[in-house]
A = this chain, B = another copy of it.
Amino acid sequence: MTTRRMGLNAVIFGLGSHEAGWRMPESDPLSSTNLEYWIDIARRAEAGGFDALFLGDVLALQQSADLHLSDALDPIVILSALAAVTKRIGLIGTASTSFDHPYHLARRFASLDHISRGRAGWNIVTSSNALEAQNFGLDVMPEHDQRYARAVDVVEATLALWNSWDEDARIVDKQAGRYLDPAKVRTVNHDGPFIRTRGPLNVPRSPQGRPLLAQAGSSEAGRDFAARYADLVFIVQSSLPEAQEFYADMKARAVRLGRSPESLRVFPGIVPIAAATHEAAEARLAQMNRFMIIEHVLAKLSEFLGTDLSSADLDAPLPAHVGSGAPNQSSQSRVAVLVGIARREQLTLRQLLSRLASGRGHLLAVGTGPAIAARMQEWCEVGAADGFNVMAPVMPQDLQSFINLVMPHLNISVGNKP
């Protein structure tokens, strides 16, 4: 075994990863617009030994707005506030390459990196939702490959802007009246297929040089993109063989591009429901699932799979034809994962819906602290993970249960960067 440490990010999307989490007795759904809610989570995660907070984002109020909590404050606003009240924990926020300009992206994340003294991260997404497109003046999202082509251009321009200042550009010679060394701050004149920007950035080089870059695409274009740019890849694969395949593939791609395999870390998402006994953990999951609104999750699954499942038998397996049609291209690889789960585990449609509701198809780990820890340890030892994006189903309860019950059994040095 090598001495590498398991990385742990606390993923936060609204009140937790479970669709119905807001209906749990202990949940306060109105709290997600209060800063106190975020400060409480950040402090728990920091004290509990997480490396970073990881904020997902979607640029639209999602369809079933009458049923589901999908409103969310801007991640950069939340993370900037949290920078002021935390000391050590990383602050990773999602922003889309499809709807923002590199000058803004480069500047915001560099600013966050400055005020947090080097704790900023950007989770790069291309967006895939038609509602997002319509909020930004398009009728539909551009095709998958077109979105990635723009993403490459946006990231290249953003990197160039971050590199437009040398670390020692601010000479601050009061006597001579020279604030900058002009040789160390350069225009970038990026002129790509989608993006033009002159530069330089109007923010000095940030403490990390550039923020950490995270990415989650698992399509061919997504893997290529991640191998080129990402420090951290967030994967949805929830079976050990699939995760091992993805892990090996990403490391190989990185090496082919001249990167060290360690420079690209692979983090599966894990939805932990930890309790003192296995039965208590299962009971907690069952409670959440009772609050799930079947029609709502079914509509989401139908959209994912590109197949109307509204009249399917909930207690039979996923119909055989599902997954063979022309799925929504934007979530093709997510479809393969979900269909794979259903077939492999011989789930009924109702069971698949529960899996989708609890954490969007990510690894669901229900049990005692030692059992969940052992599973995570195994994934790290057999080449399936360098760490995990921990998606607590209900905040802050399941995050705290993870800290109290799972963390003590993990073979990591809590409080240190992996």
Once bound together, how far apart are the Cα atoms of A282 and B78, in whole Å? 44
**Would A200 and B61 count as touching, CB distance under 8 A?**
yes
Which residue of chain B is the closest to A196 with respect to CB atoms?
A: B137
**Would A34 and B81 count as touching, CB distance under 8 A?**
no
**Would B84 and A39 count as touching, CB distance under 8 A?**
yes
B103, B108, B172, B200: the one within 8 Å of A29 (CB): B172
Please provide the chain A residues from 12 to 67 with a CB less than 8 Å away from any CB of chain B in the complex.
20, 22-23, 25, 27, 29-30, 33-35, 38-39, 58-61, 65-67
Which residue of chain B is the closest to A75 with respect to CB atoms?
A: B111
Complex interface: chain B residues within 8 A of A179 (CB): 22, 29, 65-69
Once bound together, how far apart are the Cα atoms of A179 and B66, in whole Å? 6
Indicate the size class of the contact surface on chain A: 35 or more
**Would B30 and A178 count as touching, CB distance under 8 A?**
no
Which residue of chain B is the closest to A101 with respect to CB atoms?
A: B136
**Would B202 and A81 count as touching, CB distance under 8 A?**
no
Complex interface: chain B residues within 8 A of A59 (CB): 103, 202
Quote the shortest CB–CB distance from A136 to chain B (angstroms). Answer: 6
**Would A131 and B180 count as touching, CB distance under 8 A?**
no
**Would A199 and B115 count as touching, CB distance under 8 A?**
no
Oligomer: number of copies: 2
**Would B180 and A65 count as touching, CB distance under 8 A?**
yes
**Would A103 and B185 count as touching, CB distance under 8 A?**
no
B20, B77, B107, B170: the one within 8 Å of A112 (CB): B77
Quote the shortest CB–CB distance from A398 to chain B (angstroms). Answer: 18
- Given the known interface contacts A30-B170, A177-B291, the answer about A61 and B185 at a Cβ–Cβ threshold of 8 Å is yes
Please provide the chain A residues from 387 to 406 with a CB less than 8 Å away from any CB of chain B in the complex.
none
Once bound together, how far apart are the Cα atoms of A100 and B104, in whole Å? 9
B76, B78, B131: the one within 8 Å of A198 (CB): B131
Which residue of chain B is the closest to A35 with respect to CB atoms?
A: B115
Please provide the chain A residues from 115 to 139 with a CB less than 8 Å away from any CB of chain B in the complex.
115-117, 131, 134-137
**Would B174 and A107 count as touching, CB distance under 8 A?**
no
Which residue of chain B is the closest to A206 with respect to CB atoms?
A: B33
- A201 on the interface (CB 8 Å rule)? yes
**Would A65 and B174 count as touching, CB distance under 8 A?**
no
- A293 on the interface (CB 8 Å rule)? yes
- Given the known interface contacts A59-B103, A103-B135, the answer about A72 and B203 at a Cβ–Cβ threshold of 8 Å is yes
Once bound together, how far apart are the Cα atoms of A116 and B77, in whole Å? 11
Q: A22-B172, A68-B179, A82-B84 are in contact. List 7 more A-B contacts (CB 8 A).
A: A35-B84, A35-B114, A39-B84, A61-B202, A67-B177, A70-B202, A71-B204
Q: Jot down 15 A-B pairs with beta carbons below 8 A, ordered by A.
A: A65-B179, A65-B200, A66-B178, A66-B179, A66-B181, A67-B177, A68-B179, A73-B203, A74-B111, A76-B80, A77-B111, A77-B112, A100-B104, A101-B136, A135-B197
